[in-house]
Structure 1
Amino acid sequence: MWKPDRTTKKPLYQQIVDYLERRISYGELPPGSLLPSERKLAEQLGVNRSTIIQAYEELRASGLVESTVGSGTRVSLTKWGIAPKHTPNWRSYTDGGTFLPNLPLMRRIREVLRNGEKLIDLASGELSPDLFPNSIIHTLLQQDPFQEYLGYDDPQGYYPLRSALTSFLLQHHNMNTTESSVLITSGSQQSLYLITQCLLSPGDAVAIEDPSYSYSLPMFQSAGLRIFRLPVYNNGIEPDDIVKLYRQHRIRMIFLNPNYHNPTGTTLDPAKRVQLLDIASKLGIPIVEDDPFSLTSFEGVPPVTLKSMDTDGLVLYIGSLSKIAASGLRIGWMIAPQSVVKRLSDARQQMDFGLSIVSQWLAERLLRSPQFDLHITKLRHALEQKQQLMVNALTDILRDKVTFTPPQGGLNLWCKINLKIDDSKLLEEAIKRGVVFVPGSVYGSEQGYVRLSFAKPHVDEIGAGIAGLAHALKRY
């Protein structure tokens, strides 16, 4: 995000005028584009509102923008009185299309994090930089320089990486698979996107946990799917609920996150797993198992995956390196029947001709490195410590105002605020106090729940973050 330079003699308002003039002249802000409100732009640029008022007055005087009470400030349809050429009505395009935008609260969270404001981030579901395996990667790059072919690779993914994954999944999850059943993706969300776009049709009914991370992804609605809820209890969903949904709506697919569920942190009971697979087999319904967190198990032994129990080819298994190594590597995988892999790899090739060979090459070396198991062990200990710091802070500061059950793995705490609140208003109060979190309504929950991530903030920030949330709640 551009910011005015306070070290120069040029007035701040004039720098803002010049910046907006450039964006208008470059076509980044076509005629009719709505500019941010004075208050919002002042927040983004870190200046007083009076500075923005002065800048907008200058732009209005030059004829570049027009302001209308109740409608805000827009780029003029005519520049300095010159009749415009036929500029496309970009708003009609951006408001159209079949792929829906992110939820407003998610856009707001990403906006404040992207603007570079000094915030304690209890919202992002990713690791803090000190938990990345940087030293291992640095050593790998020194010891084994990249010398691979730089052309288009197999659309199914770099074969050595698929081979490394078969060994990795067998070692950590007792999962038997072959390279031909592995599809490399850019992460779990691309895997889900391919499934919703290629294996399902508009109007199909699917079952999704309630609450669920999937509710924060508009891709399900964009695909025209009918979504039906599976309530999540203390030990996961109730498999019998699937039978009811099937009878009522003929659901065609089940989406589950059974290990350290996002956002609640619950783990599906072992007996329920057996029952779930039996029901899915009898009804012929595939299960999508999203499993990003199981290797974060604080006890060192990850919960059993549905895929490792699957003997009927029911489960499409999704994993990634984002939550256990580094989100920036953009490496995920799907384990599926070969017919499914073939269909999805064909679709993925149409999208991007495959992933970067460099990141796949590096991921393969990382998974095969004897240091990676040590990294996972250190990661578990660090996450457990961070969770305990957050638990202590919540207990000491908010006490009976919040209720939660700490999971034995994952990156998040799911908390119920024991007061009547409005999600969006509480979020805004928290942002003012330098803290950002994810309201529970983003995940389909009723008002009054929040997801607090302990993975991204530094250990020294967790207590301050909870204190900021407490002040926001008190102010609200």
Structure 2
Amino acid sequence: MKTKSSGTVIIDWKPDKGSDITLTKQIIGYLKGRIAKGDWLVGQKLPSQRKLAQLFDVNRSTIAESLSELSALGIVDSSFGKGTTIINNTWSLIFAGSTPDWNNYIEHGIHRPNNPTIQAINKFEFFEPITRLGTGEMSPDEFPCDLMASVLKRVSDLNISYNYLEPLGLYELRAGLCKYLKKFNLSVEPSQVLIVSGSLQALQLISLSILGPNSVVLVEEPSYIKSLRVFDFSGITMKNVPMDKDGIQPWMIDDTILKKGMSILYTIPTFHNPTGITMSENRRSELLRWCRLNQLPIIEDDVYRELYFDDPPPFPIKSIDTSGNVLYLGSVSKSLAPGFRIGWIIGPESIVERLGDIKMQTDYGSSSLSQWIMTEWFASGLYEVHIQKFRKQLKKRCFFMLRLLDMYFSDIATWNIPKGGFYIWLKINKSIPIEKVFHHALKDNILINPGDIYSFKKNNCIRLSYSYASNQDMEDGLIKLSNIIRKM
């Protein structure tokens, strides 16, 4: 059978040592069952025999006997030095005739599977022993539980409905957001705002609503969007544009690849993900001017704007947009909680209406409860109270990581000094296979984000985040990571 699936399976089961059924039969039955149900697919690897013995709490000889029988059935292939791979699940069709071939369905789906490294990151982030040095989220320790309790009390006292909302989202939230965004020199009306479930959904709606097959999306090199498949299924092509210390370089855009009415530029100008670069005020004006002249719309992803340490960053590109050239994205996923699933798109009414119509066709609106809660966060002024406190904590976390880098990485890497946001872009001095660094770190329960998942080419970079891990975890993890890099 042709192998297309990849990645290592996850196991959270142990055999019952008090059962009359032998441990070997229990393990074989468990492995068969996971494959039969389509939980594990052809091409996926089982953990090593040593790891399986640890997971199942049995002798390694028991594992060897179990895998030998599965190999004899033609279900797995155990090759010395290459591990054990699932090679066949057609036996399940013989013994359970009603079971569909889920692998075949998956292979013919519209969306391609994610990069194996990104799949691993998504899976292992939630394993208890893992130290997360790349996670772009606020630490649970920083969540303002006391303020949240106050907001929830306010919402519970309101006489409101939690039914479906209008296509653009809760009017009270859109109106409150327009008022709040004036501090960024943004003057917009509620009719120009669409509430979405975060910036990722905003990008999905844009790809479905105003882009099509053969469209071109210009992105920074490197860019967060490169780590996603958000544009792939539509046949949209991404082209990279170089950056310098001031941000994306519009004069480096190859205008011969632009297709009128079918091209758009995506940028994260403030505390860029993954490099941490903030686009200068002059560059913002220059980029907007170039895009206007070439009739190229801009998607401005501004989710990190409020996470500055000392001086506020330049105003958004959208604040100087007088011709409706910019679609502006924001959310509270980085500044408050990704679990709220609340973000927004701001743009011309015609575009916002179109995006809202497509959103209604896909999920019938973001959570009404979350929208009422966010309305209270803004209206009460407690969101601003939280942000001011969070900035101070984020700055302390950043400086702590920078001290650790000075101690353990000064002779093997260089890095940026952030002025806000979540990330440090670590560049290893010598050329080493960054994917191997990732896997060696994972074996030591250290989870990092290798730089090449954000790039169109291989690089020697790692995106580190100081926003999530505790100080102790940061130190332990970075010591281990520096030792791994030195050995390589």
Residues 1:42 and 2:52 are matched in the alignment: yes
Change in Cα spacing, 1:340 to 1:60, as seen in structure 2 (3 Å) is: same
- 1:243-262 pair list within 5 angstroms: 245-250=254-259, 252-262=263-273
Secondary structure at the counterpart of residue 373 of structure 2: helix
For 1:46 and 1:295, the matched residues in 2 are separated by 47
Q: Deviations over 1:123-147 (max 9, x none)?
A: 2111110122322111222243165
Q: Who is 1:421 aligned against?
A: 432
Q: Is the 8 A contact 1:123 1:453 kept in 2?
A: yes
Q: Who is 2:344 aligned against?
A: 333
Q: Who is 1:317 aligned against?
A: 328
- Please identify, of 86-95 and 182-191, the stretch whose mean Cα deviation from structure 2 is larger: 86-95
Superposition TM-score, scaled by structure 2 size:
0.88
Residues 1:152 and 2:161 are matched in the alignment: no
1:331 CA displacement: 0.6
For 2:205 and 2:66, the matched residues in 1 are separated by 46
Q: Is the 8 A contact 1:296 1:302 kept in 2?
A: no
Q: Who is 2:138 aligned against?
A: 127
For 1:453 and 1:316, the matched residues in 2 are separated by 27
Q: Who is 1:96 aligned against?
A: 108
1:76 CA displacement: 5.3
Tell me the percent identity.
32
Change in Cα spacing, 1:129 to 1:300, as seen in structure 2 (3 Å) is: farther
Aligned positions, number: 467
Q: Who is 1:350 aligned against?
A: 361
Residues 1:3 and 2:15 are matched in the alignment: no
Change in Cα spacing, 1:397 to 1:282, as seen in structure 2 (3 Å) is: same
- Please identify, of 88-97 and 382-391, the stretch whose mean Cα deviation from structure 2 is larger: 88-97
For 1:460 and 1:69, the matched residues in 2 are separated by 39
- 1:312-461 pair list within 5 angstroms: 312-444=323-455, 445-461=457-473
For 2:56 and 2:431, the matched residues in 1 are separated by 33
For 1:47 and 1:254, the matched residues in 2 are separated by 53
Residues 1:142 and 2:153 are matched in the alignment: yes
Q: Is the 8 A contact 2:154 2:376 kept in 1?
A: no
Change in Cα spacing, 1:69 to 1:395, as seen in structure 2 (3 Å) is: closer
Residues 1:463 and 2:475 are matched in the alignment: yes
Q: Deviations over 1:63-100 (max 9, x none)?
A: 7x733456834565346x96542643322221122322
Q: Who is 2:97 aligned against?
A: 85
Superposition TM-score, scaled by structure 1 size:
0.90
Q: Deviations over 1:359-403 (max 9, x none)?
A: 111111112222221210111111111111111111111112110
Within the candidate set 188, 196, 199, 2:210 is matched to 199
Secondary structure at the counterpart of residue 247 of structure 2: coil
Q: Deviations over 1:410-434 (max 9, x none)?
A: 1000011001110110111111222
Q: Is the 8 A contact 2:15 2:27 kept in 1?
A: no
For 1:341 and 1:19, the matched residues in 2 are separated by 50
For 1:312 and 1:143, the matched residues in 2 are separated by 39
1:303 CA displacement: 2.7
Q: Who is 1:72 aligned against?
A: 85
What's the C-alpha RMSD, in Å, of the aligned pairs? 2.7
Q: Is the 8 A contact 1:127 1:455 kept in 2?
A: yes
For 2:463 and 2:294, the matched residues in 1 are separated by 34
The code of the aligned residue for 1:473 comes to I
- Please identify, of 286-295 and 443-452, the stretch whose mean Cα deviation from structure 2 is larger: 443-452
- 1:289-308 pair list within 5 angstroms: 289-308=300-319
The code of the aligned residue for 2:75 comes to E
Secondary structure at the counterpart of residue 325 of structure 1: coil
For 2:142 and 2:467, the matched residues in 1 are separated by 9
For 1:44 and 1:255, the matched residues in 2 are separated by 46
The code of the aligned residue for 1:135 comes to D
- Where structure 1 has 5 or more consecutive residues not aligned to the other structure, the ranges are none
Secondary structure at the counterpart of residue 144 of structure 1: helix
Q: Who is 1:177 aligned against?
A: 188
Secondary structure at the counterpart of residue 287 of structure 2: helix
Q: Is the 8 A contact 2:35 2:89 kept in 1?
A: no
1:193 CA displacement: 0.9
For 2:275 and 2:349, the matched residues in 1 are separated by 33
Q: Is the 8 A contact 1:383 1:455 kept in 2?
A: yes
Q: Who is 1:110 aligned against?
A: 122
- Please identify, of 16-25 and 103-112, the stretch whose mean Cα deviation from structure 2 is larger: 16-25
For 1:17 and 1:376, the matched residues in 2 are separated by 53
1:2 CA displacement: 5.6
For 2:330 and 2:195, the matched residues in 1 are separated by 10
Q: Is the 8 A contact 1:38 1:52 kept in 2?
A: no
Change in Cα spacing, 1:155 to 1:73, as seen in structure 2 (3 Å) is: same
Secondary structure at the counterpart of residue 117 of structure 2: helix
Q: Who is 1:208 aligned against?
A: 219
For 2:338 and 2:207, the matched residues in 1 are separated by 22
